[in-house]
Structure 1
């Protein structure tokens, strides 16, 4: 392994679905390989709430959202890209980046462009079933493509989705015990975890509002309703929270999850071995429905279209799963078979091994003969040409 710390820049911003897989691999690189970790972010994304709390250096750049319609924002796009590119390039120079790991979102395209311009090797991970524009651009620029799903529309090896190390493990039951105590939950009652993602989901919240009185008679409910949404009314055996920071604890106490099917959500729920009722977001390019398709086909989950979600449908599905021990056990077995391996550490090892000591020493000697800040990085032979 390298004698000098590896300097890794992660680029996944805007939503938890982009931030969490980038952090998962970054933290694995830091924990296992002593990497120096820097994250790119913007003032409008969730990274300002999530990343500093995980002990990672956050550098803010200008966001570069790509408008889906012809409007004023589209006319500003070239100027925003140029500004963000210059800012990102400076960050890579400041931290003497050896490698960039991107997962899409507002910060990904500038990161790929800056890495390409400086000769820094970069990896592009697409966690959704259908690839986004920024990641497709990254691979076209020469990034090493990696996919969570086959047939995403982006070239690259299928590796699965990296989940934060230790998120879904509780070998001695201590994580669950702490969560029961923290949220005043009973350890002898089945728990339904309901979440609409980091921002909450109005349709899920609405359906649960009509179902909570019925379901809370037999089950306890832990509900993340979203910071921007109105707090729900109180009920017995019902714990509403604007945001669940301790997701490891929530997954440890849950028996069933009701949630959107964003790529990261599906990965975390699956890693925890939990059956789920997925309600895909009805917007975008339809990737959320694809994210959970394999689990539904395997019998590990149920899919309810957003337009068909109602209190009655939710009650029926929850009770048909939790009220039938045989079905619940079959779904648990199915999700266990479908769960991926330790993707975060596998990718971390791969990235670390690609930054060879020889390559770093060549780079350092090369920098001496060039202007400050214009050095390039050399990837190991294992990754070259991919």
Structure 2
């Protein structure tokens, strides 16, 4: 059996694909796996690092909204679809699983031409163009939110790294806090704007850090590798403020934290919900508003707070986040709500869908 994964470009597309690849190999180590990608995507590093084959196709970015440029896409896609077809034929692909983005659409169209069954996975609450098109031809559609508008969608969540999906935060907490130089017992706020950091989050938390510390809150702050670390003056007896360039063990960071201040990318929301970590979500104010839509369901369920980027101020943190961190019962209830909303088994559910699609195709 050979499965082709189509979801390159960004980590939000690649990580779920790799989590599925890992789950497929856990079930059957002999499964062949090839990931489609382009020379300029993150997949050129991430896929080989995880031990999987990468099949390169030309990049044809898709407009986020209908524009005159959309008219030129079909012509530019022809060569990319042909390259994807060659990979499907060479690998004798039994199924194509797409995760959206500009790598997915050529994979879907090549699979349709060759009669290879398609599964679409949509991580965002608002589906992108590639998955809207792919869902028309798919054997099955898997989504990350229970109220998706995609036709025939099945709610499974987002496939996660095993270090996250199997994380027991309470059991790992002593080790995690020691690893970051944090007090083992104090309420802990984790702050991160993603791999690149986020200026507004960084500036806001730096402005309010001393007040939080005086209120008994310690802070672990991933500022982003391209940003300068702030000067820290941790007074003796004060809860520590620990800024770091980045965190490469997010499982430990999640275990160390009681609450997180972060953006609302689909992977972030899925990971925090799965491990039961409440968050104050600050949607990135770009695109089609999908980050706000990503966070709304878990916030509605009681597992987080939601604030617009323009409204994130030191005053908001003190009036909304500090009371949560200072109230163990409220933290417990928000953690429980986030955990009940989250899904840890999306990878296994998606594996089952792959096998179902292949079996149905063979039994036609």
The Cα of 1:199 is off from its aligned counterpart by 2.8
1:41/1:61 contact within 8 Å kept: yes
* Superposition deviation, residue 177 in structure 1: 4.8
Q: Which runs of 5+ in 2 are unaligned?
A: 235-239
Q: Deviations over 1:313-355 (max 9, x none)?
A: 1233221111011211221222232222512112212313443
Task: Report what 1:210 is aligned to.
Answer: 207
Contact 1:213 1:235 (C-alpha < 8 Å) held by counterparts? no
The CA deviation string for residues 132-153 of structure 1, in whole angstroms up to 9 with x for no partner, is: 1100110123452222224433
Alignment of 1:78-93 (within 5 A): 78-93=74-89
Name which of 11, 19, 22 aligns with 2:17: 22
Give the alignment of 1:1-386 within 5 angstroms: 6-34=1-29, 35-68=31-64, 77-155=73-151, 156-171=153-168, 175-217=172-214, 218-236=216-234, 237-356=240-359, 379-381=361-363
Give yes or no for contact 1:11–1:39 (8 Å, CA) kept in 2.
yes
Tell me, yes or no, if the aligned pair for 1:13 and 1:108 is still in contact at 8 Å.
yes
The whole-number CA distance in structure 1 between the counterparts of 2:103 and 2:162 is: 24
Q: Write the distance in 2 (CA, Å) between the matches of 1:347 and 1:249.
A: 26
Structure 1 residues 230 and 351, CA gap change in structure 2 (3 angstroms)? same
Check 1:209–1:62 CA distance in 2 against 1; reply closer, same or farther (3 A cut): farther
Shift of 1:30: 1.2
* Compared CA separation, residues 273 and 172, structure 1 to 2 (3 A): closer
Label 1:99 to 1:49 Cα distance change in 2 as closer, same or farther (>3 A). same
How many angstroms apart in 2 are the aligned matches of 1:318 and 1:209? 15
Deviation at 1:24, TM superposition (A): 1.7
Deviates more, 1:320-329 or 1:150-159: 150-159
Structure 1-normalised TM-score? Answer: 0.83
> When the two structures are aligned, how many residues end up with a matched partner?
356
Please tell me whether the aligned partners of residues 224 and 243 of structure 1 are also in contact (alpha carbons under 8 angstroms): yes
Q: Which residues of structure 1 form unaligned runs of 5+?
A: 1-5, 357-377
* Worse-superposed segment, 245-254 or 99-108: 245-254
Aligned to 2:237: none
Instruction: Tell me if the contact between 1:201 and 1:225 (Cα under 8 Å) persists in the aligned partners.
Output: yes
List structure 1 segments (4+ residues) > 6 angstroms apart after TM superposition.
69-73
Q: Secondary structure at the match of 2:19?
A: helix
- Checking the alignment, whether the CA contact within 8 Å between 1:168 and 1:251 is kept in structure 2 is no
How much is the aligned-residue C-alpha RMSD, in angstroms? 2.6
> How far off is 1:269 after superposition?
0.2
Contact 2:168 2:255 in 1 (8 A): no
Distance 1:259 1:118, change over 3 A: same
Give the SS at the match of 1:59: strand
SS state at 1:281 partner? coil
Residues of 1 paired with 2:194 and 2:244: CA distance? 12
SS of corresponding position for 2:361: coil
Q: Is the 8 A contact 1:168 1:252 kept in 2?
A: no
2: CA distance, partners of 1:68 / 1:338: 29
